[in-house]
Structure 1
Amino acid sequence: MHALQLLPLAGEVGSTQLVIAALVGVASIILLITVAKLNPFLSLMAGSAIVAAIAGVGVNELFKSFVTGFGSTLGGVGILIGLGALVGKLLVDSEGANAVVDKILGSAPLALVPWAVTLIAFIVGIPMFFEIGLVLLMPIIVLTARRGKLPIMLIGIPVLAALGQMHALMPPHPGPLAVIDALHADLGLTMLIGFALAIPVIIVAGPLFAPIAARWVPAMAPEQGAVATTQNTTYRRPSFGVTLATILLPVVLMLARTVSELTLPAGSPVRTALEFVGTPVVALFITALMSLITLGVRTGRSMSEVGVSVSASFGPVAGILLIVGAGGGFKQTLVDLGVGKVVAEATSALSLSPLLVAFVLAALVRIATGSATVAALTAAGLALPLAEGLSPVQVAMLVLAVGLGSGVLSHVNDAGFWLIKEFFGLTVVETFKTWTVLTIIAPLVGMVLLFGVWSFVS
């Protein structure tokens, strides 16, 4: 049963009351974590209860929504985080991550290192979901920062910018695909314009913003956690080529799936096979199995020794999974109460540019619910009338405006906010000063560029 069916009072709650409930709930979570020093997992649960009390919905009923959101979030990203942590641990323990870092630091001057990791994240982010790409690249981020004696945000911000914008703007990510379908946009044209738009946005929000973020939060790479290193000189270190091939394997599998869906007829045996192996969970599972060989037994370790690394990879991410799941639960609470719908309907009544309306709709729903996909779908449905009479290029730009809006202002109701906070070892305030600011800069830069192009094609 869907969680909406478990909230019989949701339709009777006034719009103003819903907005107030959401705002107080978000503020409560921030205060509980930063002032009361309560664990984020418990704070997010408490925030959901506060929303329930203000909205006038029974706490027992509302916590069913929280549990639904918790389960769906972990069902979507929990396995991916676990498999990614496994690959990441093997990358570190085999010193394969060191091979990549050696190549980066050896081939690029120190000043260009943020640009080098931006390029890697851009390639990885084309077909790969944000969470998977981040988990896989975390060992590279941490070791590059350590070896270069650089603040971690100087390396992390470019990676986050590239992964985040590819997720918001480019198929095969679910939000852009859903909006393209809803607005009947041309897929190829949207991808072409999206690539052209993503590059300058990533540059500004990534390597150009990174030095500023590093000054605001000069934290160095954490020594312990999900990407802690285990130096070992007894075994062979995998080569740069083998390590990079392992990292890029899920990228290749997911990209092959996308190409097959665009070029091969439905029901084709080749397409069916590629659709299966290109499913994110399957692609990362295959990569995890491959890493047992390329980053494990091929380095001279026995399977029992490799198993020690595998077992050690899961413990550090347990707390992260609980917090990420709780973020998804709080998000689902807001969605099921109808907060996003209230915000979207109020915005759609304004007489503004179609491009701005699409962006604002997605942005407000994203801020209210914390879900980029929910924001994209909601905005696409409400922006459909705006696409009437527009040229194919303009419709493609409308899709990208929704994508940019769906990535605005990540904060405490976004599971990704907590993932980044925990992985980078930041405080809530530091996460706001880095990741949240990035999610303001990137959409605004993108919209300025879109408006510039819109003025020429209108």
Structure 2
Amino acid sequence: MDTYLLLMTVISILIVVVGVSVFKWHAFISLLVASMFLALVAGVPLDKIVAAYETGVGGVLGHLIGILALGTILGKMMADTGAGTQIAEFFIRAFGVKNLPWAMLLSGFIIGIPVFFEVGILILLPLVISIWKTSKQNILLIALPCITGLSIVHGLVPPHPGALAAISIYKANLGKVLIYSLVVAIIPAILAGPIFAKWVHKRVIPEGEPELIKIETRSTSLPGTGISFFIILLPVILMVLSAVAPYLGLTPGLMKFFTFIGSPIIALLISVFVAYYFLGMRKGMDRGLIKKLTEECLLPIGSIALIIGAGGGFKGILIESGVGDTIAKMANNLSLSPLVLAFIIAGLIRIATGSATVALTTAAGIVSPVIQHMSGVNLELLVIVTGAGSLMFSHVNDAGFWMVKEYLGLSVVETFKTWTVLETILSFVAFAVAMILDTFL
């Protein structure tokens, strides 16, 4: 029976892969079909299938949907007011032309914290192209570190939706994940960013030229660098305060206050209103324009919310069907660490589907039942290694692959030699750092 359940689980994952890559189904449809297939072949009673699926969806999205919306609004405000550009230009002035790769890495890292990868690219690549035209250097030397910073925080660091979904599924501590992920991200970002860029730019000379990207600035004047930094880091500051509050000897009332303002949805809500005022109203935006910006950026989150919800639904079916217990027994028999298991599963799904979000949420759904009866598993590092696995081997089925290729004017082969290698370095080095950290925590 155990072998049969495992085989059916593998087939259900293949349904996701084939649905996305061959039939061109949306990932939500593929995950839903795979969930229903697994429930039926695993013998889940018909009257329990829908309830198990809906419980899984609600368990993830109930926690996540508000955070996803507020994070998107904050990113839109940073992009359309020029605040992101101000931060990037500050780093360039501070580091100088000789240290441009380091300046661009820091720009991508900081700007990437509250915004989606795609939005970060739209904020930073006009600046990258401007520097490339002025400096006459190989664009890879400037662009790759910037993309590295965006990618590593997208994969590992909350409040990004994949990381938050995994935190919810694993029931990990958000404050600890935030602190650990920022620590874990440093070494892979340095290796895949400035160091790899300095090595590869001498060996890959792009034949094409980058496409010019323009981002419309809606405010009448650019915000100051200080306020731009403050707003982009505010949600992180509030979440870190919540994480360290128990160690500060505060009164119970203050403890509750810091826990409240440090919860992701409240931290982001506060940050959004601060952005509305300092980036919007004080810079000439009227209330109608701010409302329009908010509505514009909420439309695209529907797709990612559906994918994350479907990943939670898949988890619900895995638990109801008993597959989770079966995988747990297998992992115990093989003496396989849940961290290694999560990394491998996320990596395989990422390679197959091309989506880091699908890989992260599906892998978390598969591994979470495994750890329910285990002790001594570091749930925070489990989130991070699952995120690390979701970054590896980006190729032609990944939208990010084509985005980087087109915006930088690279050929397919050049994109494999640069972007794919960069993502794989990030993945394996982040995994190695997390495993080393696991021996000390």
Structure 2 gap ranges (5+): 130-138, 350-360, 393-397, 406-411
Q: Structure 2 counterpart of 1:142, which letter?
A: L
Q: Structure 2 counterpart of 1:236, which letter?
A: S
- 2:13 corresponds, among 2, 11, 26, to 26
Q: Structure 1 counterpart of 2:303, which letter?
A: G
Matched-pair identity in %: 23
Q: Structure 2 counterpart of 1:143, which letter?
A: I
- 1:184 maps to what in 2? none
1:219-278 CA-to-partner distances (Å, cap 9, x unmatched) read 97996xxxx93334x71211111111111111111111122122225x532222111111
Deviation at 1:440, TM superposition (A): 4.4
Contact 1:93–1:231 under 8 Å retained in 2: yes
Aligned residue runs from structure 1 range 238-257, under 5 A: 238-257=223-242
Change (3 A) 1:255 1:28: same
Instruction: Give, in whole Å, the separation in 1 of the partners of 2:324 and 2:333.
Output: 15
Contact 2:105–2:193 under 8 Å retained in 1: yes
Contact 2:338–2:371 under 8 Å retained in 1: yes
Q: Structure 2 counterpart of 1:290, which letter?
A: V
Instruction: Give, in whole Å, the separation in 2 of the partners of 1:404 and 1:310.
Output: 30
Instruction: Give, in whole Å, the separation in 2 of the partners of 1:316 and 1:339.
Output: 33
Change (3 A) 1:305 1:178: closer
Which has the higher mean CA deviation after the structures are superposed, 69-78 or 402-411? 402-411
Aligned residue runs from structure 1 range 285-296, under 5 A: 285-296=269-280
Aligned residue runs from structure 1 range 9-24, under 5 A: 14-24=1-11
Q: Does 1:53 align with 2:37?
A: no
1:323-380 CA-to-partner distances (Å, cap 9, x unmatched) read 33223322333344333332232222346xxxx7454355467679735498478448
Q: Does 1:318 align with 2:310?
A: no
Contact 1:320–1:422 under 8 Å retained in 2: no
Q: Does 1:89 align with 2:76?
A: yes
May I ask how many residue pairs the two structures share in their alignment?
394
Q: Does 1:230 align with 2:221?
A: no
Contact 1:242–1:294 under 8 Å retained in 2: yes
1:264-312 CA-to-partner distances (Å, cap 9, x unmatched) read 25x5322221111111110100111111101110001222222222222
Q: Structure 1 counterpart of 2:265, which letter?
A: V
Instruction: Give, in whole Å, the separation in 2 of the partners of 1:212 and 1:44.
Output: 40
Instruction: Give, in whole Å, the separation in 2 of the partners of 1:312 and 1:192.
Output: 32
Secondary structure in 2 matching 1:57: coil
- 1:145 corresponds, among 125, 143, 156, to 125
Instruction: Give, in whole Å, the separation in 2 of the partners of 1:411 and 1:303.
Output: 39
Q: Structure 2 counterpart of 1:257, which letter?
A: S
Deviation at 1:140, TM superposition (A): 3.7
Aligned residue runs from structure 1 range 400-411, under 5 A: 405-407=385-387, 409-410=389-390
- 1:278 maps to what in 2? 262
- 2:328 maps to what in 1? 344
Deviation at 1:82, TM superposition (A): 0.8
Instruction: Give, in whole Å, the separation in 2 of the partners of 1:330 and 1:219.
Output: 43
Deviation at 1:89, TM superposition (A): 1.6
Secondary structure in 2 matching 1:238: coil
Instruction: Give, in whole Å, the separation in 1 of the partners of 2:236 and 2:254.
Output: 18
Q: Does 1:260 align with 2:240?
A: no
TM-score by length of 1: 0.68
Change (3 A) 1:378 1:310: same
Q: Does 1:304 align with 2:304?
A: no
Instruction: Give, in whole Å, the separation in 1 of the partners of 2:184 and 2:309.
Output: 32
1:403-447 CA-to-partner distances (Å, cap 9, x unmatched) read 6654453399xxxxxxx95899699x9999589846741355337
Structure 1 gap ranges (5+): 1-13, 126-132, 181-186, 388-397, 413-419
Contact 1:408–1:439 under 8 Å retained in 2: yes
Change (3 A) 1:145 1:304: same
Secondary structure in 1 matching 2:390: coil
- 1:370 corresponds, among 359, 362, 370, to 362
Contact 1:96–1:238 under 8 Å retained in 2: yes
Which has the higher mean CA deviation after the structures are superposed, 307-316 or 272-281? 307-316
Coordinate RMSD, CA, aligned: 4.9
1:43-63 CA-to-partner distances (Å, cap 9, x unmatched) read 221121222233233566323
Which has the higher mean CA deviation after the structures are superposed, 335-344 or 434-443? 434-443
Instruction: Give, in whole Å, the separation in 1 of the partners of 2:298 and 2:277.
Output: 19
